[in-house]
């Protein structure tokens, strides 16, 4: 069965709210265990089967960035650093001290910025098709449901149409993304990444045309502790295209950090 | 006593240091090409100088050695090394398809008219990352693979294999080894566990990245275990690897070796990635080796200490003969697998020639 991206999370996820910096921030939570905070891409909160799998062993908290979805337009967060600081405060206000952090596309830049803001509490970062460094100034994929599906998935025919947006939501989100995202190569940001000592796993879909894997090496060159992972036969929506693979490698990295290089699973055929 | 030249085929250009896998950001294909050619040229020269063996090994993802498949290098060497035996010291058995290894070694034995030595290794711990194999299962995989390879070389009827790690429904390899029943098999291992396995399975034993006292202790244990298993290892059942450089005088040889950097501490490839080393140490890779044994193996020594501990042969031919005598008397190996300072041009070539003309005649009957 193909599990699609969906704005409606699986039944395990329940909707909650937390206050931070004057924002009322919506989040979806499922599972128990070590906290794993997830920050979505420029399209808004879309959970996949990967999140369901991760919720089997982690307390997954998918935060909606203020200014996305049904929340009021966010005109207060002037920069990505402001946004990152607000999200770190929101997590602290949930009573969480140490946590794992995963970000998708736009959320990839958000979580790196959170790492720069709060590197004492973030144990490890997983980036999914991160948009923090871009080879061109092309805007995020846009268009009708069919065009969006084609832009995001390696096998669009295996996924249902993406849900549309209520009036004004897209414009509101784009305004915030445009302001927070910065230029394709943000020199100050890239210089700061050289000091980020959190272990980072950067995942790229081999079929991703939005954030192609050709950008991956720059992350490895900039970040002092970064591992690259190519997700075969996945496009930009890496977690939706290969949910089991993404969940497995992310969980292994969260659990073992750099030691994830060494295989732990047994290959015994018959004892 | 026999002398083998270890051709590890180091990439002779600059590269990122202190990490593994090594990024290829400074890689130059022309340098790799000339590095391979240099290795082939030195093998050819050693063959002409009278060396008994030329050896190759398997390492991955690093400039330390650019022969990730030693079979390919051995195939190339089979065309320039006309007399000496060619020793494969690996392949790294547990990370590979053992049946493919049986086939490739049989091919090489056929190509060389029966001049292949089959060193079946477990590889350094980092190699388990290479093909994503669990190091915890290294020893058990190795044990099964050795039995499978032997069976594939000797069984003439197609047979299936229902192993723990390997499963085949029908095997009948072609070509088959020229040497009967099969090429000599060696494994490496300083631990008691490896020594006992080699003794129980009548395999030769190789020592590398160690010292003369440590190797002697391990070899004595291996010999004791072999006697218990009902056989007695001959000198040729023990290979000892160490550095080597010979010049007309001791002073010249030492000057050369210092220039080549051999007085610097040995930087083990495994130590370049502490996360990998630590993860492998958590597994059963090291078996029953004690922490102390491992520390001794990875300890780093200066030049004089290296000579004293039998990690390095350096000096005039007569000095080197006396250094070899000490190794002969203490450890009693039949084969010394020497790593030469490959980057010294004519001085490297001269060192190989002096080994052949002035040293080997004095030790050949030991």
Domain ranges of chain A: 14-259
Question: Do residues A102 and A237 lie in contact, with contact meaning Cβ atoms separated by under 8 Å?
Answer: no
Q: A220 and chain B: CB distance < 8 Å anywhere?
A: yes
Express each pLDDT in B286-310 by its tens digit.
776 554 455 555 556 788 999 999 9
Burial class (CB in 10 A: 0-12, 13-18, 19+), B179: middle
Return the pLDDT at A7.
43
Helix (H) or strand (E) segment spanning residue B185? strand B185-188
What average pLDDT does this structure show over A256-263?
95
The answer to whether B228 contacts chain A (CB < 8 Å) is no
- CB proximity B169 to A under 8 Å: no
CA distance A237 to A128: 8
| Domain at B2-363, CATH from 3.40.1110.10, 3.40.50.300, 1.20.5.50, 3.20.20.30 | 3.20.20.30
Among the listed residues B23, B81, B21, the one whose alpha carbon sits nearest the alpha carbon of residue B55 = B81
For B275, name the nearest residue in chain A, comparing CA atoms only: A259
What residue of A is the nearest CA neighbor of B284?
A: A264
pLDDT score, position A150 = 92
Looking at the complex, report in whole angstroms how far the Cα of residue A116 sits from the nearest Cα belonging to chain B.
23
Q: Give the pLDDT score at B300.
A: 67
Class of domain A14-259: alpha beta
Global pTM value: 0.89
* CA distances in angstroms from B328 to A117, B219, B352, B364, listed in the order given: 63, 12, 20, 12
Contact B24, B75 (CB under 8 A): no
What's the mean per-residue pLDDT of chain B? Answer: 93
Q: Where residue A95 falls among pLDDT bands split at 50, 70, 90?
A: very high
How far does the CA of residue A252 sit from the closest CA of chain B (Å)?
13
Closest CA to B186 of B256, B116, B253, B245: B116
Answer whether residue B161 shows pLDDT above 80: yes
Q: Which residue in B255, B106, B239, B127 sits closest to B171, CA to CA?
A: B106
Q: Which of B240, B204, B219 is nearest to B327 (CA)?
A: B240
Window from A157-161, B107-111, B356-360 with minimum mean pLDDT:
A157-161
Residue ranges of alpha helices (H) inside chain B are 29-49, 70-77, 98-111, 127-130, 138-154, 192-200, 212-228, 250-259, 274-281, 291-298, 303-308, 317-330, 346-354, 360-363
Closest CA to B152 of B103, B110, B119: B103
Q: Beta partners for B119?
A: B89, B186
Residue-level pLDDT at B72: 98
Across the interface, whether the CB atoms of B136 and A266 are under 8 A apart is answered yes
pLDDT single digits (tens) A114-147? 999 998 999 999 999 999 999 988 877 878 888 8
Match 């979505």 to its residue by tokens: A40
> Would you tell me the crossing angle of helices B346-354 and B29-49 to the nearest 10 degrees?
30
User: Which of B240, B239, B237 lies closest to B223, judged by CA?
Assistant: B237
The pLDDT score that the predictor gives to residue B289 is 56
Question: For position B264, what pLDDT does the model report?
Answer: 67
Residue B230 buriedness (CB in 10 A; 0-12 / 13-18 / 19+): exposed
| 3-class secondary structure, B242 | strand
Query: A262 and B163: CB-CB below 8 Å?
Result: no
Which token pair is B23? 């990024």
Cβ(B180)–Cβ(B208) under 8 Å? no
Q: In terms of Cα–Cα distance, which of A191, A218, A208, A210 is closest to A242? A: A208
Q: Which among B129, B137, B276 has the least Cβ separation from residue A267?
A: B137
Provide the pLDDT for residue B277: 82
Using CA coordinates, name the residue in chain A closest to B140: A268
Pair of tokens at residue B254:
């030492």
More confident residue, A71 or A162: A71
Per CB-CB distance under 8 Å, the chain A contacts of B132 are: 263
Q: Residue B275: its chain A contacts at CB < 8 A?
A: 257-259, 261
What residues contact A12, with CB distance under 8 A and at least 6 apart? A30, A31, A52, A55
Candidates A256, A259, A267; nearest CB to B134: A267
Q: Is the pLDDT of residue A2 over 50?
A: no
| Residue A161 confidence class, pLDDT cut points 50, 70, 90 | confident
Whether chain B has a CB inside 8 Å of the CB on A197: the answer is: no
Q: Is the alpha carbon torsion for B253, B255, B258, B260 positive or negative? A: negative
Question: In chain B, pLDDT over 90 holds for what percent of residues?
Answer: 84
Cis omega before residue B90 (within 30°)? Answer: yes
Q: What letter would DSSP give residue A15?
A: E
pLDDT band at A1 (very low <50, low <70, confident <90, very high): very low
Q: Look at residue A49 in the predicted model and tell me its pLDDT.
A: 95
Of the listed ranges A76-90, A128-142, B77-91, B325-339, the least confidently predicted one is A128-142
Q: Each residue of B77-87: pLDDT tens digit?
A: 999 999 999 99
Residue A28 has pLDDT above 80, yes or no: yes
Tens digits of per-residue pLDDT, B188-228?
A: 988 999 999 999 999 999 999 899 999 999 999 999 999 99
* CA distances (Å), origin A148, targets A156, A236, B235: 9, 11, 72
Instruction: With H, G, I as helix, E, B as strand and everything else as coil, classify residue B348.
Output: helix
Q: If 0-12 CB within 10 Å is exposed, 13-18 middle and 19+ buried, where does residue B351 land?
A: buried
- Assess A257–B contact: CB distance below 8 Å, yes or no: yes
Give the end-to-end CA distance of chain A in Å, rounded to a whole number. 32
**Which H or E run contains B6?**
strand B2-6
B273 interface with A at CB cutoff 8 Å: yes
Specify the 3-state DSSP secondary structure of B293: helix
């Amino acid at each position: 069965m193909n599990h699609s991206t969906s704005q409606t999370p699986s039944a395990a996820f329940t909707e909650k709210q937390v206050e931070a910096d004057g924002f009322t921030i919506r989040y979806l939570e499922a599972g128990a265990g070590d906290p794993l905070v997830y920050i979505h891409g420029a399209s808004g909160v879309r959970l996949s089967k990967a999140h369901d799998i991760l919720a089997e062993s982690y307390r997954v908290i998918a935060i909606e960035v203020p200014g996305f979805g049904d929340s009021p337009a966010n005109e207060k967060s002037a920069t990505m650093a402001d946004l990152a600081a607000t999200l770190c405060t929101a997590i602290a206000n949930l009573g969480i001290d140490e946590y794992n952090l995963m970000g998708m596309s736009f959320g990839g830049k958000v979580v790196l910025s959170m790492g720069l803001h709060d590197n004492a509490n973030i144990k490890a970062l997983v980036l999914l098709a991160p948009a923090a460094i871009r080879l061109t100034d092309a805007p995020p994929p846009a268009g009708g449901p069919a065009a969006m599906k084609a832009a995001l998935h390696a096998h669009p025919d295996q996924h249902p149409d993406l849900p549309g947006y209520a009036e004004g939501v897209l414009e509101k989100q784009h305004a915030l993304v445009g302001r927070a995202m910065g230029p394709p190569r943000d020199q100050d940001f890239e210089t700061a990444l050289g000091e980020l000592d959190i272990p980072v796993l950067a995942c790229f879909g081999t079929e991703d045309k939005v954030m192609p894997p050709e950008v991956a090496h720059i992350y490895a060159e900039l970040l002092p502790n970064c591992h690259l992972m190519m997700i075969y036969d996945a496009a930009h929506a890496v977690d939706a295209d290969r949910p089991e693979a993404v969940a497995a490698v992310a969980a292994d990295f969260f659990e073992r950090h750099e030691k994830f290089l060494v295989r732990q699973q047994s290959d015994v055929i018959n004892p | 006593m026999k002398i083998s030249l270890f051709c590890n085929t180091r990439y002779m250009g600059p590269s990122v240091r202190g990490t593994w896998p090594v990024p290829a950001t400074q890689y130059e294909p022309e340098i790799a090409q000339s590095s391979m050619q240099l290795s082939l040229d030195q093998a050819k020269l050693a063959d002409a100088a009278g060396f008994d063996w030329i050896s190759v090994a398997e390492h991955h993802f690093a400039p330390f050695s650019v022969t990730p498949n030693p079979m390919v290098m051995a195939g190339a060497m089979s065309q320039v090394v006309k007399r000496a035996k060619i020793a494969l010291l690996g392949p790294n058995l547990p990370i590979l398809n053992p049946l493919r290894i049986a086939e490739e070694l049989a091919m090489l034995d056929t190509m060389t008219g029966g001049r292949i030595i089959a060193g079946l290794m477990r590889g350094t711990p980092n190699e388990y990352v290479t093909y994503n194999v669990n190091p915890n299962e290294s020893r058990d995989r190795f044990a099964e693979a050795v039995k499978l390879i032997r069976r594939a070389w000797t069984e003439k009827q197609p047979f299936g294999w229902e192993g723990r790690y390997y499963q085949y429904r029908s095997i009948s390899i072609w070509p088959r080894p020229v040497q009967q029943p099969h090429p000599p098999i060696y494994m490496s291992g300083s631990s008691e566990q490896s020594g006992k396995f080699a003794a129980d399975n009548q395999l030769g034993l190789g020592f590398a990245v160690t010292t003369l006292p440590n190797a002697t202790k391990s070899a004595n244990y291996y010999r004791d275990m072999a006697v218990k298993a009902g056989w007695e290892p001959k000198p040729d059942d023990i290979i000892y690897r160490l550095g080597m450089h010979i010049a007309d005088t001791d002073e010249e040889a030492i000057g050369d070796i210092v220039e080549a950097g051999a007085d610097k501490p040995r930087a083990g490839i495994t130590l370049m990635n502490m996360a990998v080393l630590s993860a492998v140490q958590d597994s059963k890779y090291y078996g029953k080796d004690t922490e102390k044994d491992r520390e001794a193996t990875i300890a780093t020594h200066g030049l004089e200490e290296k000579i004293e501990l039998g990690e390095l042969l350096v000096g005039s031919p007569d000095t080197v003969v006396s250094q070899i005598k000490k190794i002969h008397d203490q450890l009693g190996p039949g084969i010394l697998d020497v790593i030469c300072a490959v980057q010294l041009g004519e001085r490297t070539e001269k060192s190989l020639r002096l080994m052949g003309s002035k040293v080997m005649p004095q030790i050949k009957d030991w």
